[in-house]
Amino acid sequence: MNDYDRIARVIRFLDEHHLQQPTLAELASETGLSPHHFHRLFVRWAGITPKDFLQCLTLEHARDALRSGQGVLDTALDAGLSGPGRLHDLCVNLEAATPGEVKAGGEGWTIRAGFADSPFGICLVGESLRGICRSSIRKTANHTRQ
């Protein structure tokens, strides 16, 4: 199995098993590599650590549950987290919003946004009182890499 296939296999595994919060050792066993070698390989191919990737999947699941009306405790436990404190930390660190604010859909929030040129294209950045809460890059037809 080549490296691309190994990482693709782990990403599929994470997509299907993220609620179980698999460990680095469990993910490495899916590839037949040591945890250290797997971690370096994953970062090289995916651009983020396996833990960061898993946190993004967990947040996506939690965000959907909260927005559908599920309570914070149930959402945390359903997402495979140990409790609401872990969900709070995850939301604030990745979303710059508390679980309650995510559940409310940002109602009452003020978000300042602006555009700027970047080496990758035009960048949109949104900022709340807690910091950056949104960023995206749009490559334009006339944008050339410097």
DSSP codes joined into one string, 60-99? HHHHHHHHTT--HHHHHHHTT-SSHHHHHHHHHHHHSS-H
Residues 62 and 20 occupy one common structural domain: yes
Smallest CA-to-CA distance from 53 within 99, 101, 96, 8 is with 8
Q: What is each CA distance from 106 to 12, 14, 25, 97, 109, in whole angstroms?
A: 31, 28, 37, 8, 5
Shared domain for 98 and 117, answered yes or no, is: no
Residues 28 and 59 both lie in one domain? yes
Note whether 27 and 91 are same-domain residues.
yes
Same domain, residue pair 46 and 9: yes
pLDDT for 146: 45
Same domain, 90 and 57: yes
Q: Scanning the structure block, which residue is given the tokens 């990482």? A: 7
What backbone phi and psi angles, to 5 degrees, belong to 78?
-65, -30
Quote the CA–CA distance of 14 and 30 in Å, as a whole number.
10
Same domain, 27 and 80: yes
55/114 same-domain check? no
Q: What is the pLDDT of residue 128?
A: 86
Residue 40 sits in the same domain as residue 74:
yes
- Predicted pLDDT of residue 90: 95
Whether residue 35 is found in the same domain as residue 84: yes
Domain span at residue 69 reads 3-103
Mean pLDDT over 32-38 rounds to 96
Are residues 99 and 115 located together in one domain of the fold?
Answer: no
The counts of H helices and E strands in the chain are 7, 3
Residue 24: CATH number of its domain: 1.10.10.60
For the chain, the first-to-last Cα distance in angstroms comes to: 37
Please give the pLDDT value at position 140. 62
**In total, how many domains does the chain have?**
2
Mean pLDDT of 108-136: 88
In the chain, % of residues over pLDDT 70: 95
Q: What is the pLDDT of residue 33?
A: 94
In angstroms, rounded to a whole number, what is the distance separating the alpha carbons of residues 39 and 4? 14
Predicted TM-score of the model (pTM): 0.77
